[in-house]
Amino acid sequence: MSDIFIAAPVPQRLLAPLAQLDAHVTVRESDTPITPAELKAGAANAEVLVVPLSTPVTADIIAAAPKLKLIANYGAGVDNLALDAAHQRGIQVVNTPGVSANAVAELTIALILAWSRRIPEGDQLMRGAGFQAWEPLFFLGHEIAGKTLGIVGLGAIGRSVAAKANALGMHVRYWQRHALSAADEASLNVQYAALDDLLAVSDFVSLHVPLVPGTHHLINAAKLIEMKPTSVLINVARGPVVDESALLTALQQKQLGGAALDVYEHEPQVTAGLKALPNVILTPHIGNATVEARDAMAGLIADNIVAYFNHQPLRYTV
């Protein structure tokens, strides 16, 4: 009988189909992150390994799992996996792209609105001293209608953000390695701009690129200087896409209006100093943390594991 090791609690949408397989399924039920030693022990006899995207699967762990044939990453990214080591062993790797695009896009818009209308600050005020009276100049924020949103990376998430931003009356520009056709741009109501130009004109800059060597510190000190002193940086992509030390300096020196971060360069740690800034919103990597998205992700993994045991082609192989 084959062993399936699942390194974190998962929805029943993933577990129920596995019960029909001729396999022994072990789920690590603790909510605390699994340690490398625990993961190595759990994967030692596994033919299938399921891990959340926050769990590194190193070459050392792969080497200690001689029966391993399939790694399923519970997440769209794969920067936590030693892909070269897996491929050298002939281990198939799958992930869960696409299905969480709407959830991440909704959070992106939520962060833009929360920052613009100072919602976290208002909540803290009301939990403390409260306010004295309605006044014409009290607690002013900004409307986002008519503002320019610059989207860095117009994949599934970026396109969903663009559609929502358009519905809210924002002007949308985008940058990625290759511009879309004129017809596609017209259908999405977006306009291509070189990255430097996008940074210079955008009121909000939202990051939606994968973490690959070419995007590490894509937003660094030099790029932050190009942004308007009133603009806001939104990162719901991967933490190391932003040089957080440079971001902190830019915010402290008022080179930038603010930031909203859902991911962090040294996750789960937050760069010292960011928490003290009132113009920064911090959320705990909840981009696709919706029941709908996590169930859809679980369904993709379950379908791939069932397909593997039935000797059928897998979807979303990396």
Catalytic residue among 238, 244, 265, 294, which?
Answer: 238
User: In this predicted structure, what is the pLDDT of residue 1?
Assistant: 87
Nearest CA among 299, 288, 317 for reference residue 71: 317
The answer to whether residue 267 is catalytic is yes
CA–CA separation, 204 and 112 (whole Å): 8
Catalytic residue among 143, 266, 267, 292, which?
Answer: 267
DSSP string for residues in 98-166: STTHHHHHHHHHHHHHHHHTTHHHHHHHHHTT--S---TTTT-----TT-EEEEE--SHHHHHHHHHHH
The answer to whether residue 285 is catalytic is yes
User: In this predicted structure, what is the pLDDT of residue 76?
Assistant: 87
pTM for this predicted structure = 0.93
CA–CA separation, 71 and 94 (whole Å): 6
User: In this predicted structure, what is the pLDDT of residue 15?
Assistant: 97
Catalytic residue among 24, 89, 217, 285, which?
Answer: 285
Q: In terms of C-beta density within 10 A (0-12 exposed, 13-18 middle, 19 or more buried), how is residue 102 classed?
A: buried
The answer to whether residue 185 is catalytic is no
User: In this predicted structure, what is the pLDDT of residue 216?
Assistant: 97
- Cβ 6 vs Cβ 50: under 8 Å: yes
pLDDT along the chain (318 residues), means of 10: 96 96 96 95 98 96 98 92 96 95 98 98 96 95 98 97 98 97 98 98 97 96 98 97 98 97 96 96 97 97 98 95
Nearest CA among 210, 236, 222 for reference residue 293: 236
Query: Roughly what angle, to the nearest 10 degrees, separates helices 119-127 and 101-116?
Result: 60
- Cβ 67 vs Cβ 87: under 8 Å: no
CA–CA separation, 132 and 49 (whole Å): 57
User: In this predicted structure, what is the pLDDT of residue 269?
Assistant: 96
CA–CA separation, 12 and 44 (whole Å): 24
Nearest CA among 232, 174, 184 for reference residue 208: 174
Residue type, 35: T
- Cβ 293 vs Cβ 266: under 8 Å: no
User: In this predicted structure, what is the pLDDT of residue 149?
Assistant: 98
